[in-house]
Amino acid sequence: MKRFITNNISIIGPFIGLILFSIILGVLSDSFFTVDNILNLLRQISINALIAFGMTFVILTAGIDLSVGSILALGSALTAGLLTSGMDPLLAVFIGLIIGLVLGAVNGLVITKGKVAPFIATLATMTIYRGATLVFTDGRPITGLSDSFTFEMIGKGYVFGIPFPVLLMLVIFGILFFVLRKTVFGRQVYAIGGNEEAAILSGIKADRVKIWVYSLTGMLSVLAGIILTSRLNSAQPTAGTSFELDAIAAVVIGGTSLAGGKGRIVGTLIGALIIGVIDNGLNLLNVSSFYQQIVKGGIILLAVLLDRRQSK
């Protein structure tokens, strides 16, 4: 039991937080605990969650990625472009994901080979990718996408009554959970974040691992973007603006240390849920949007404070 607690200490704080907020909301609004709303809530968080999963890897290596929102926008725009050009949806989506992978890899290369601090490197690419999106879309949303069932499915579909994006999120969560917990790659991610020098001297190819981590994040961002595109029936040039903040918040609320080397992807899922619950709840309670920001910030702070042991 003690072992269980110490193993999971980092996620107990946020978990309690989540339960707490949910209960409060359930009491305050009877529309909260309806099946409809729960599914609705899960579908809403799936996008942030997918990005945050990638961000978890990045932050575990003691990095950060501010460009996720722009990658999301550029990836979806290009995918939408392919779709409107009549390409087979699945192929278009696949190419879109590859593009995300490449954009992420560029981040990784700048950071490792260029030896630029992740924050500033991705701050720059964030701007560049956004600009590229605007150039490509000429500042207009791309519409008239294939109304193929497959593509609609991605964002709007249901499987056994569960929204498809939610399934996607859960499957990918499962995979990444396994990768972090049980694979050599996962172990290397933690080691690099914990002490890069020691990791390298232990024969870990830190640069390569990092490049993969950023590539993964890029790909997940585009995947999130594709879901968004499918849901919105269009790719927006301004899509994903400031998504990086919600993603980072989810990771950190989930108990992952920004210093790297410590954290769990379960925590990130919980973090994304907390943020989702806050947004959903504030709407349900019809809190004025001005106060919403105050409340949201306050709750995020609260969630992290519940978890202060970690942030030491």
**Residue 163 gets which letter from DSSP?**
E
Q: How far is residue 209's CA from residue 183's CA, in Å, rounded to a whole number?
A: 13
Choose from a copy of itself, another protein, none: what does 248 bind? Cβ within 5-8 Å by kind. a copy of itself
Three-class DSSP category at 97: helix
Q: What six digits make up the tokens of 9?
A: 């200490």
In this chain, which of 5, 197, 286, 308 binds a copy of itself, going by CB under 8 A?
Answer: 308
Minimum CB distance to a copy of itself smaller for 40 or for 238? 238
For residue 198, state whether it binds a copy of itself (rule: CB under 8 A).
Answer: no
| CB of residue 285 to a copy of itself, shortest distance in Å | 15
Tell me the C-alpha distance between 288 and 297, whole Å. Answer: 14
For residue 14, the minimal CB distance to another protein (Å) is 18
φ, ψ of residue 33 in degrees (nearest 5):
-90, 35
61/210 Cα distance (integer angstroms): 7
From the list another protein, a copy of itself, none, pick the one residue 132 interacts with, judged by a Cβ distance below 5 to 8 Å according to partner type: a copy of itself
Is position 247 an interface residue for a copy of itself (rule: CB under 8 A)?
Answer: no
292 contacts a copy of itself (rule: CB under 8 A): yes
Q: Which is nearer to another protein, 113 or 182 (CB)?
A: 182
Nearer to a copy of itself, 90 or 135 (CB): 135
Candidate residues 248, 269, 270, 277; the one interacting with a copy of itself per rule CB under 8 A: 248
Interface pick for a copy of itself out of 26, 131, 144, 174 (rule CB under 8 A): 131
Site for a copy of itself in 270-289 (CB under 8 A): 289
Interacting span for a copy of itself (CB under 8 A) from 8-16, 166-174, 262-270, 303-311: 303-311
Number of residues that bind a copy of itself (CB under 8 A): 46
Which parts of 80-123 are beta strand (E)?
Answer: none
3-class secondary structure for 34-56? CHHHHHHHHHHHHHHHHHHHHHH
Spatial distance between the Cα atoms of 46 and 213, rounded to a whole number of angstroms: 20
Binding track, positions 105-124, relative to a copy of itself; x by CB under 8 A: -----x---xxxx-xxx-xx
To a copy of itself, the closest distance from the beta carbon of 309 in angstroms equals 8
Angstrom distance (rounded) from CA 124 to CA 270? 30
Q: Distance between terminal CA atoms of the chain? A: 24
Dihedral, CA of residue 126, residue 131, residue 136 and residue 141, to nearest 10: 80
8 Å CB contact between 273 and 18: yes
CB of 238 to a copy of itself, least distance (A): 12
Residue carrying structure tokens 């000429």: 138
CB of 118 to a copy of itself, least distance (A): 9
- Distance of closest approach, residue 117 Cβ to a copy of itself, in angstroms: 5
Q: Which of a copy of itself, another protein, none is residue 305 near (CB under 5 to 8 Å by kind)?
A: a copy of itself
The radius of gyration computed from the CA coordinates of the chain, to the nearest angstrom, equals: 19
Alpha-carbon distance of 104 to 58, in angstroms, equals 11
Residues that bind a copy of itself (CB under 8 A): 110, 114-117, 119-121, 123-128, 130-132, 134-135, 138-139, 245, 248-249, 252-253, 257-259, 289-298, 300-301, 304-305, 308, 311-312
